[in-house]
Structure 1
């Protein structure tokens, strides 16, 4: 039986986190919400919804993901697959089964949930997000012959492959770092189209000028770093 763990980084997601946890399919064995310096009731609500909550005192998406991984590494029975998704209810957690199926059935290593235009709710992605995704994936195609079209947060990966990636980024570059390392290590991957809706609450990255700029810089940093790395 395939064991699946979910990691959900969460910063002030009290309005949405219960919806996310409750919508995750029953095939999942472990739901970990990483409370990343929240000042609201995210931790309390996530626990009440049935998730395991761990706290990360260093702010940053990558910090939260790494904290979730560290917690899993100390669990008795390790998972076969790790799924990452956001805590703002913009992803559709019930589509998790679509992401893990190619790993289970076809022995793929990595599956990305691609937020394709015809499945996106109007306004769910900002113009900087759409442009940033296009630029990043175009560069990856040019430099690495990649087939990615998105840097979406909803993704599934074999646990052992995730460990082998030796993820480092602590903030905005986490998603692109993972995809670049998937390419560098020649892992078997695929994109699956997923639905995407307007998030609950305000975005902490794309919703601010500072966040959008820092995210863009981090993404370009990782791409050019790996383009010159042998």
Structure 2
């Protein structure tokens, strides 16, 4: 790269570092960089691993600065959204969840029988199951002390899962304060028989929005 191109590559790398968005580049399918012994960023194509050309660095720079009326002060919104999603998922993973083995222990059943039961329940939209790094997670908030689905949550889960919503989104909505419920946490509010119909209605509305967005 020429001196000007190298400066642009450095400015782009520094900007992303300052925004804390470097880790989201790969997740977005964009070129990534690593800093060499000289401290300079070495940008690489995500498909070939080959160094980016001057033109490719310029194209990436323009792409990430295209949002907003003032490109110099733009923020790559898609990367910010990916960072937020990653943060939310990390927080969810810190809350209790079960593997097939741990759920089997709670249920007093074999792991194979538990695996079969979990799959069948998921097919009926009667259990929230989340895939993560090749493993299957069963969030514990939805379960009783004996490892079965809380009875009151069946009517709440069904519209969300039947709408083929992202399981991570379902997990997030059910365990975080929800605007549709005036800031109440859905799965907690559902414990109150008077609040359960409201939670169910909010779940139906959310499912409808999800379907409309996919249409």
TM-score, structure 2 length as denominator? 0.29
Structure number with the higher helix fraction is 2
Q: Choose between structure 1 and 2: higher strand proportion.
A: 1
Q: Which has the higher contact order (CA 8 A, sep 6+)?
A: 1
Bigger Rg, structure 1 or 2:
2
